[in-house]
Chains A and B, each alone.
Chain A
């Protein structure tokens, strides 16, 4: 089966329209999911049992069920309760919720990787839990959190393809349509595979830059090293 180059030229613009929607959806999902993830990570460490339980339940539900089922549940079940949202909005919310569960676990892992003495010394000098996190623990944990956080972002971007199943006209949906019209699956899917790859590379490079920028200030070895004289 040869490559039909005209498909790229004829259908490329439509794919790019779908690509733009994919970008908008994942950017919004990360913009909502990341703060939500930070909140969930801190809520899981809260003194309030109810908050701790709610956060844990949320994380466990979204981490342990298939994303496609989550999307179906939100898209088809919410209208029964009077909440009818456009497919794009459901897509953003579902991706944000799914992403936040993983972000929360990565952030919690980073916080817990810090030596206990760091949090303790912040408390001992009179800092509240929030101040201790903000000024002592999180700035150090960032170096540990960023690499796995990037991984989670990349998988969130790829999961956005699932939104094609609820009629969101994003990139995968567009490719499926083109494939149906042209019977040229190879051209249609190779185009979007390359564009997903491109998007992920851009995000990965951006995150690596951010990581270097944030950790350059301090000697690199300090991030995870447990202090000790001997």
Chain B
């Protein structure tokens, strides 16, 4: 049980970009099957925190552990040889979805989903194709298998990127503002896919501005500001009854610009302003 509770651990992560401290001794623990949404104003370090998990943004200090094993421990020597191979094995277990999709334009939808399965996991072409079809089906792209990413809409590209990550059978998904680059009418399709993933028990760490979505799927919401976690708690408490003034302000600003979903109205109702 405690092993599941400490599925993913980020311990005292400090990241500096020149003189700017992007993350200041941030610690976060995620349990197996938990969905954690990270919210906060831009530049607060939430994307950097997410990118620390798979060591895409190696921190200056701190440790990341997945199921008790060290993914990275800063400051450590440059990642070479055995170190980088071990890191790549961890990365293959963490599916990452980017704001800008980063689908591979020189490969068809199917090839986008099979390539890493073959290259990284060593699956056979047939096995990879079968898994890819299932993953593309899961995200509603069963009829786009032979299309080029260029022919897909933004929402479809993002769902392709999700399928690419899912086909690796990851034990954890990292999503960096998965809907921020999408036209509003395409957001719901992507969110529906993520919601079904959450319902299947996938452990997810999501950086998002979609409060309504966070309210629906997140077990826990983490509010960050200026490189620190300011408030962290169960979703209902964080979004409906924020303890800090900072989170109250942030929620008020965000709900003022977002469509007034039922969720947002609740937040506003609780807000004194």
Contacts and interface: CB of A to CB of B under 8 A. Distances in A.
Interface of A: 47-48, 115, 117-118, 120-129, 131, 135-136, 139-140, 217-219, 221-223, 225-230
B88 A222 contact: no
B169 to A, nearest CB: 12
A140 B52 CA distance: 27
A227 B116 contact: no
Interface residues of B, number: 45
A147 B120 CA distance: 32
Contacts of A135: 115, 119
A68 B157 CA distance: 52
19 contacts: A115-B100, A117-B100, A118-B104, A121-B102, A121-B161, A123-B56, A125-B91, A125-B116, A125-B168, A126-B93, A127-B88, A140-B104, A222-B106, A225-B105, A226-B100, A227-B103, A228-B181, A229-B154, A230-B182
Contact of A227 (B79, B100, B151): B100
A136 B104 contact: yes
Given A227-B100, A229-B157, 18 more contacts: A117-B102, A121-B102, A125-B168, A126-B92, A126-B121, A126-B168, A129-B84, A140-B104, A218-B106, A219-B150, A222-B150, A223-B105, A225-B150, A227-B102, A227-B157, A229-B101, A229-B153, A230-B183
Contact of B104 (A121, A217, A229): A121
Nearest to A221: B150
B243 interface: no
A6 B149 CA distance: 62
B165 interface: yes
A229 B84 CA distance: 33
Contacts of B158: 229
A122 to B, nearest CB: 8
B90 to A, nearest CB: 8
Contacts, number: 106
A127 B105 contact: no
Nearest to A136: B104
A228 B88 CA distance: 27
B154 A230 contact: yes
A135 B102 CA distance: 14
A63 to B, nearest CB: 28
Most chain A CB neighbours (cut-off 10 Å) among B95, B119, B151, B155? B119
B117 to A, nearest CB: 9
Most chain A CB neighbours (cut-off 10 Å) among B54, B120, B158? B120
Contacts of A230: 154, 181-183
A127 to B, nearest CB: 6
A221 B149 CA distance: 11
Most chain B CB neighbours (cut-off 10 Å) among A117, A124, A131, A135? A124
B106 A125 contact: no
B85 interface: yes
Across the A-B interface, give the 9 residue pairs with the lowest CB-CB distance, nearest first: A229-B154, A126-B92, A121-B102, A222-B105, A117-B102, A124-B96, A229-B181, A126-B120, A126-B91
B240 to A, nearest CB: 31
B213 interface: no
B89 interface: yes
Contacts of A120: 56, 98, 102
B148 interface: yes
B167 to A, nearest CB: 10
Given A219-B148, A230-B183, A121 B105 contact: no
Contacts of A48: 80
A113 to B, nearest CB: 13
A186 B50 CA distance: 71
Contacts of B181: 228-230
Given A47-B80, A128-B84, A221-B150, A228 B89 contact: no
Contacts of A227: 100-103, 105, 149, 157
B186 interface: yes
Contact of A125 (B85, B92, B157): B92
B200 interface: no
Interface in B103-146: 103-106, 115-116, 119-121
B120 A228 contact: no
Nearest to B78: A47
